[in-house]
Amino acid sequence: MIDAVFYEVFAEEKKALKKFLSPSIRARFISKTIQECVEVFPPAKLISIRTQSRVPLRWASHLAGIFTRSQGYDHLVSYRRASGRDIPCGYIREYCSRAVAEQAVLMMMVLLRKLKKQMDCFGAFSRDGLTGAGCRGRRALVIGIGRIGTEIVTICRGLGMTVKGVDPRHGLKGFDYVPLAKGLSWADVVLCACPLTAKTKGMLNYNMLRRVKRGTIFVNVGRGEVSPTEDLARLLSEDALGGIGLDVFDGEYLLADFLRARRANSSVRRIRKLKDKSNVVFTPHNAFNTQEALEEKARLSAEAVERFLRQGAFPNAVMES
């Protein structure tokens, strides 16, 4: 009898999880998402996923608990609502904020300095059209000043940027919060670290983002549904945006399924065409993935699973339903 099944486990994560899990726990590790496995029933009463697995509704009556190895848990809230069952769910409150923030700023700098184009021009050792922009003195708008957003603010300030933020809660002391529309028209760079909620879904759509100054850089490391990819592509084609950096995508689980299976539909073709542009940087929801964050994530995941198996409760329980 298996105690817990971990889905969406990549090689380094599997090694780290095994390091922290008690030998007495019978665990199974699967690299695929749940929908890729096509299982009729869950192979254990406790399952652990990330953000791309979609738990079948028919599993709800067979599950004792669901644990997501992520800070975001909107997918678990949606599942409980759809299933009509108050299944105990858990998440990791904090493990990778600095890592995600660093990747957001990395993407920003890659786009500002035209790094993809620089690399393409190496063969001819040409510098034509490669003049980029520095960070010092530029204006950065951070949307979502939670743990990740706060780290982005710290790094951008360290680079000499002027930073403002958008968030309904003004929790960061001595910081300049502004309305979204005002901030967008002010910024040179917009960095999104928003969670997905009913209010943020589609918030950064075409009509909202067209308020930016021509050539503004946009980076999203929060949730893809906040900024629809099709709208971003349109703004890029109109030169309203000067560059796009995405670690998250709307309809991400479907996109991931198609890309891993090497199948194509119209959405995948648009994404592939867009990613090849010199002013676009796409990464596979990997901003969290540093050695330090992965180790912490594995430790916290192991502790959460073991506690649930002993006590029937997670250290950080999802309270929304």
What does the pLDDT look like over 114-148, one tens digit per residue?
999 999 999 999 999 999 999 999 999 999 999 99
- Rounded to whole angstroms, how far apart are CA atoms 233 and 271? 9
- Give the pLDDT mean for 70-95: 96
- Under DSSP, the state recorded for 175 is -
Residue 166 has pLDDT above 70, yes or no: yes
- State the pLDDT at residue 190: 99
Segment 240-288, tens digit of pLDDT: 999 999 999 999 999 999 999 888 788 888 899 999 999 999 999 999 9
Q: From CA 224, how far away is CA 227, in angstroms rounded?
A: 6
* Average pLDDT for 217-236: 97
38 — pLDDT class (breaks 50, 70, 90): confident
H-helix or E-strand spanning residue 141: strand 139-143
User: 187-200 as b/e, with b when 16 or more CB fall inside 10 Å?
Assistant: bbbbbbbbbbeeeb
Across the range 29-57, mean pLDDT stands at: 96
pLDDT number for residue 267: 81
- Helix %, strand %, coil % of the chain (to 5): 40, 15, 45
Provide the CATH number for the domain formed by 4-95+291-311 in this structure. 3.40.50.720
Q: What is the pLDDT of residue 268?
A: 85
pLDDT at 321 over 70: no
Closest Cα partner for 285 from 12, 19, 8? 8
Q: Where are the domain boundaries for CATH 3.40.50.720 in the chain? A: 4-95+291-311, 97-282
Average pLDDT over residues 193-203: 96
Q: CATH number of the domain at 97-282, please? A: 3.40.50.720
Residue 320: predicted pLDDT: 83
* Per-residue model confidence as pLDDT tens digits over 291-319: 999 999 999 999 999 999 999 999 999 99
Determine the pLDDT at residue 261: 87
- Report the distance separating Cα 254 and Cα 252, nearest Å: 5
With 90 as the cut, is the pLDDT of residue 201 above it? yes
Is 70 exceeded by the pLDDT of residue 91? yes
